[in-house]
Amino acid sequence: MSVKLEIAQEILLNLVTVMPKEKVVLSECWRRILGETIVSDIDFPPFDRSPLDGYALIDEEVAGATPENPVILQQTDYIPAGGIPNKPVIPGTACRIMTGAPLPPGATGVIRLEDTIVDGDKVTILDGRGAEKNICLRGEELFSGEEVIAQGTVINAGVMGMLAVLGKSRPSVFCKPRVALIATGSEIVPVDFPLTPGKIRNSNSFMLSAQAAEAGAQTVLLGNASDNVDEIAHLLETAADCDVFITTGGASVGDFDFISEVYKKLGITLLFDRVSIKPGMPVLAGIRDGKLYFGLSGNPAAAAISFEQLVRPVLMKLGGRKVWWRPHVKAILASPFNKKTGAKRFVWARCWQTDNDILVEPSRAQGNGMLKSAMGANALMVIPENSPPLPLNAEVEVILLADA
Amino acid sequence: MSVKLEIAQEILLNLVTVMPKEKVVLSECWRRILGETIVSDIDFPPFDRSPLDGYALIDEEVAGATPENPVILQQTDYIPAGGIPNKPVIPGTACRIMTGAPLPPGATGVIRLEDTIVDGDKVTILDGRGAEKNICLRGEELFSGEEVIAQGTVINAGVMGMLAVLGKSRPSVFCKPRVALIATGSEIVPVDFPLTPGKIRNSNSFMLSAQAAEAGAQTVLLGNASDNVDEIAHLLETAADCDVFITTGGASVGDFDFISEVYKKLGITLLFDRVSIKPGMPVLAGIRDGKLYFGLSGNPAAAAISFEQLVRPVLMKLGGRKVWWRPHVKAILASPFNKKTGAKRFVWARCWQTDNDILVEPSRAQGNGMLKSAMGANALMVIPENSPPLPLNAEVEVILLADA
């Protein structure tokens, strides 16, 4: 029962709901997903203010001032940052004002300190041009009632600053999805165990936990299980509070492919058991009580691609994001791709920009093992199904991996 | 004493050393910077192995097999994943083998289960093509003694998996730089305080802490200080174990510009007190006991750009990275940029790819406040010093912000 990738993605995304929300202290919100739409309850700046240190005055009075023909005004007030004006500016007067301080009534411009000479309360304006531009108007950046940040926005540095401006010291964010990870296979030993004949270390759990983190999820590493239905089923049940369950290994055809039996034992409804992509064809998905289960291949190349194409979009939607897909661009092959492609193929690649184009080339060492290719990749080349070998300069679609 | 940006960057980077290292459990290493060069002490795969479930056999014996003219072999052994071979494959025999299991001596190929019919210990091979390709050779991906991952590499999913393959359960990583942040200015109130006349909330600390996190640093939020030299100096001293110290506010010319006085009081040697960029001209840097101090503007636009151009490269080098700069590309202006530019200018922007070009456009709302422009930006446009207004379709340099 091999389904097309796009069908598999649709099946999964239709079954995914969105995580509940929690309130988190702002300093911990970087990279979290905003769970509420933020409407400003203030004008910002909250008052007309000076963007620099200088003199607030009536701009028309000083417009023609030059070092040769300066304009002399009388200082009548002094407003520090955080202070408030005591008296209005009237003709012939100026008010000393600090960066960020509220503009006094009557002032229509500000001249910066460097363009003045101060002697007691006498202020000589040497250059009066553009005074009217040196004002930040109340509400210039935000007005009260304005929708400023949409639910589902990733909290980057700018969003973080804006939440602070608006006093959101504990914004609502979506809870991080929790992903349970189990590596199955009697050949697998824990990472800090010595290797004995026939054994390899569990690398999939660590690779996938990083992929999950990149998709905004937390992982719970449940360790290794041998090829035993009861053991795998028991381990899965120990992590019942998780939101998504992933096993690696035991997903392809053969005597030791236990995962479909595990699903039967646990009452997990099988959604599909292979997807027509390469690598990553053997992959099971199931659902129970609204939670998704994935049985990925034990081969790291296949597991990584299945995760990228099937699990990642699920985690992105679950996590409350508006965009579930990575950016795609068109790129030009910098070296021929000499393989015929049956099922849609994904190839770890490096792309770079030249004056005219984005070029792309498969990572060296595109072996079955593939960790070396994945380490240095910044993109995945997408080769459509039933493609002939592709020549130098052929145009290919490329998925950009931001994390590289 | 205004210095050019490139000079300021060079001064700072020459003074920065690299953080010490710590050993961290592998599951916590995502996005950390590798502190050691990893040399493989194993071949990987550690043995010739099967990439699929099937039969190990002598490839020449079955090369011509078809459904009409199948080849029949006798099964003499059975190797599960994690098992070891008991007997060699000799002519006329085949060995059942699972994905990842070691190839038995004598076998020169593997035929997948789907291309066989099994009846007791009689195995009928229906398609014998390409059997020799279905072997992962020992050392195909890694050989013992090979330098696999360089010190300074960012630990992404592929690197994480590779470290696991090599048994690095507690790799050495560079300690995260610790950044102390203080917002100064008597107009600043904490984010969860009500606004009173003349006051605004502290947004810089939160914005900068996110920028620091993106550069791999931890931040210590020391809160707000009023415009008082002793108070600021005292706060800075409370965080003596930090590696980099940042204040915002009090950095431009004027009565309330305290930071240079703070530096004098604390015996911090001033490196420069303005850099010819816009925004971000007013910025102090100092050094004491090998640690860098930055006095950024209180204006978020200026503070963000100063951080991006001066503090971020310092944190990247301090954190042990090999690459300190963000990727730059050439882009085409999708709308004219109508301002004359004196000092080198940085403009928050959005860029996107079309069939032929990367286009770029300033974010809307490029106000003095700028948080709104920064929120939606995925790039910074770089306008060279002394540029005239730039027309539609002019080529500009663009810095890509990965975090967007």
Interval B279-313: pLDDT, tens? 988 899 999 999 999 999 988 989 999 999 999 99
Cβ neighbours of residue B270 closer than 8 Å, sequence gap 6 or more: B260, B263, B284, B285, B286
Claim to verify: residue B6 and residue B90 sit in the same structural domain: no
Residue A14 lies in a domain: yes
Mark yes or no for CB contact A368/B200 under 8 Å.
no
- Is 50 exceeded by the pLDDT of residue A404? no
Out of B80, B114, B158, closest to residue A256 by CB: B80
- Within a domain: A32: yes
Q: Using a pLDDT cut of 70, give the percent of chain B over it.
A: 96
B291/B280 Cα distance (integer angstroms): 22
Last residue of a domain, one of A70, A102, A133: A133
Integer CA distances (angstroms), A337 to A59, A382, A393, in order = 67, 11, 10
Q: Is residue A139 included in any domain, yes or no?
A: no
B227 pLDDT band, cuts 50/70/90, is: confident
Domain range spanning residue B110? 54-133
Residue A215 has pLDDT above 80, yes or no: yes
pLDDT digits (tens, 9 = 90+) for B332-366: 999 999 989 999 999 999 998 887 788 999 987 54
SS3 letters across B170-195: CCEEECCCEEEEEEECCCEECCCCCC
Grouping H, G, I as helix, E, B as strand and the rest as coil, residue B155 is coil
Residue B178's identity, in one-letter code, is: R
The pLDDT assigned to A256 comes to 56
For residue A184, give the chain B residue with the closest CA: B81
SS3 B347: strand
Domain boundary among the residues A75, A107, A133 is at A133
Residues of chain A contacting B157 with CB distance shorter than 8 Å = 207-208, 210-211, 214, 304, 374, 403
Whether B87 and B201 map to the same domain: the answer is no
Are residues A127 and A161 located together in one domain of the fold?
A: no
Partners of B367 on chain A (C-beta within 8 Å) are: 136, 140-141
State the pLDDT confidence band at B404, using cuts at 50, 70 and 90: very low
CATH of the domain at B209: 3.40.980.10
CA separation for the pair A43, A147 (Å, rounded): 12
Query: Phi/psi at B287 (nearest 5 deg)?
Result: -140, 140
Residue B147 vs residue A80, higher pLDDT: B147
Asked, for residue A141, whether it belongs to a domain, the answer is no
Residues of A in contact with B219 (CB under 8 A): 27
Looking at every residue in chain B, the average pLDDT score rounds to 92
Q: What is the DSSP letter of B310?
A: I
Residue range A25-30: mean pLDDT, rounded: 96
- Cβ atoms < 10 Å from Cβ of A58: 20
Return the HEC string of chain A: CEECHHHHHHHHHHHCCCCCEEECCHHHCCCCEECCCEECCCCECCCCECCCCEEEECHHHHCCCCCCCCEEEEEEEEECCCCCCCCCCCCCEEEEECCCCECCCCCCEEEEHHHEEEECCEEEECCCCCHHHCCECCCCCECCCCEEECCCCECCHHHHHHHHHCCCCCCEEECCCEEEEEEECCCEECCCCCCCCCCEECCHHHHHHHHHHHCCCEEEEEEEECCCHHHHHHHHHHCCCCCEEEEECCCCCCCCCCHHHHHHHHCCEEEEEEECEECCCEEEEEEECCEEEEEECCCHHHHHHHHHHHHHHHHHHHCCCCCCCCCEEEEEECCCECCCECCEEEEEEEEEECCCCEEEEECCCCCCCCHHHHHHCCEEEEECCCECCECCCCEEEEEECCCC
Distance CA B143, CA B138 (A): 8
Give the pLDDT of residue A7: 98
**Any domain includes A140:** no
Which residues of chain A lie closer than 8 angstroms to B81, CB-CB? 185-187, 227, 249, 256, 298
Query: Residues A209, A251: contact at Cβ < 8 Å?
Result: no
pLDDT band at residue A369 under the 50/70/90 scheme: low
| B265 has a pLDDT exceeding 90 | yes
**Other CB atoms within 10 A of residue B197 CB:** 11
Q: Cβ separation of B186 and A46 shorter than 8 Å?
A: no
Residue A279 shares a structural domain with residue A155: no
What would the pLDDT profile of A142-180 be if each residue is shown by its tens digit?
999 999 999 999 999 999 999 999 999 999 999 999 999
Instruction: Note whether residue B142 is domain-resident.
Output: no
Q: If you average pLDDT over residues A218-228, what whole number do you get?
A: 93
Average the pLDDT over B133-158 and give the result.
93
User: A254 lies in a domain?
Assistant: yes
Whether A206 and A103 map to the same domain: the answer is no
pLDDT for A217 beyond 70: yes
Residue A222 lies in a domain: yes
CB contact under 8 A, A26 and B83: no
Asked whether residue A334 falls in the same domain as residue A369, the answer is: yes
Q: CATH number of the domain that B108 lies in?
A: 2.170.190.11
Q: Poorest-confidence range of A145-154, A262-271, B18-27, B80-89? A: B80-89
Per-residue burial over A290-323, b if 16 or more Cβ lie within 10 Å, else e, is ebbbbbbbbbbbbbbbbbbbbbbbbbbbbbbbee
Question: Among A318, A352, A380, which residue terminates a domain?
Answer: A318
Are residue B349 and residue B223 in the same domain, yes or no? no
Whether residue A168 is found in the same domain as residue A29: yes
Residue B247's pLDDT is what? 96
Residue B359 shares a structural domain with residue B269: no
Reported ipTM: 0.91
Share of chain A above pLDDT 90, in %: 79
Would you call B191 and A371 a contact, using CB atoms and an 8 Å cutoff? no
Residue in B26, B201, B375 closest to A158 by CB: B375
Among partner residues A155, A206, A368, which is closest to B164 by beta-carbon distance?
A: A206
The answer, yes or no, to whether residue B368 has pLDDT greater than 70, is: no
Query: Is A42 close to B299, i.e. CB distance below 8 A?
Result: no
- Domain total for chain B? 4
Q: Mean pLDDT check: name the lowest of A103-107, A203-207, B80-84.
A: B80-84
pLDDT for res B256: 56
Is residue B225 scored above 80 in pLDDT?
yes
Nearest to A99 among B81, B214, B252 (CB): B252
Report yes or no: B280 and B300 within 8 Å, Cβ to Cβ.
Answer: no
pLDDT in tens, A243-280: 999 999 877 655 457 899 999 999 999 999 999 999 98
Residues B229-248 have pLDDT tens digits of 999 999 999 999 999 999 99
Instruction: Identify the residue whose tokens are 């690197």.
Output: B159
CATH number, domain of A384, equals 2.40.340.10
Q: What CATH number does residue B165 fall under?
A: 3.90.105.10
Q: What b-and-e string marks burial along B378-400, b requiring 16 or more CB atoms within 10 Å of the CB?
A: bbbbbbeeebeebeeeeebebbb
Cross-sheet strand order for the sheet of A282-288: A2-3, A269-275, A282-288, A291-296, A244-248, A178-184, A218-225
> Do B164 and B182 belong to one domain?
no
Same domain, B287 and B201: yes
- Give the closest-approach CA distance of B335 to chain A in angstroms: 20
Q: Are residues B198 and B252 in the same domain?
A: yes
